[in-house]
Amino acid sequence: MRLILMRHAKSSWDAPAASDIDRPLNTRGARSAIALGNWLRQNGHMPTEALVSAAKRTMQTFEGLALECPVQFKRALYHAGPNAMMQVLGSATAPTVLMIGHNPGIAEFAERLVQTAPDHPRFYDYPTGATLVADFTASEWAHVDWHSGKVVDFVVPREL
């Protein structure tokens, strides 16, 4: 099984009165989402199911990826910590899952999922748009354990 773990693309702070959950992507974030979608396609990292935080910026990131797969927008992923993210992942049924969430939880989740971190200077801070691709040998998502994922790929939008 394969997990594509992505932090939402760069969001806008132009409307300080707006609630956090309603913050949209900025122009750079929208371009990054398109670039990340292209990167996923070019590298054969195609999800068959997506689990996406219900925040506006995560939903817009998913839309920008332009992927053709079923998606569930999950309020439980909004600013979720690693344990909540693992619980949501456990409900997935497809063999290749894309999960889009937020820091700081997503950075810790990524770190706790993999056996060995990728040799990349930005892995531990997981900047906007950071994307980890990891494979697991479990037979279903509910049986994935901490530190069991094997890193396949890791990228940040500035590299695309």
pLDDT digits over 20-29, tens only?
Answer: 899 999 999 9
Residues near 121 by Cβ (< 8 Å), separated by ≥ 6?
none
Residue 16 lies in a domain: no
Residue 93 lies in a domain: yes
Residue 62 lies in a domain: yes
Number of domains the chain contains: 1
Residues near 99 by Cβ (< 8 Å), separated by ≥ 6?
3, 4, 5, 6, 50, 51, 52, 77, 85, 88, 89
Residue 81 lies in a domain: yes
What range does the domain containing 30 cover? 2-10+22-159
Residue 15 lies in a domain: no
Residue 17 lies in a domain: no
Q: What is the pLDDT of residue 144?
A: 97
Give the Cα-Cα-Cα angle 54, 80, 21 (nearest 5 degrees).
35
Q: What is the pLDDT of residue 73?
A: 98
Residue pLDDT, tens place only, 35-59 = 999 999 999 999 999 999 999 999 9
User: Which CATH number covers residue 33?
Assistant: 3.40.50.1240
- What does pTM read for this prediction? 0.96
Residue pLDDT, tens place only, 104-153 = 999 999 999 999 999 999 999 999 999 999 999 999 999 999 999 999 99
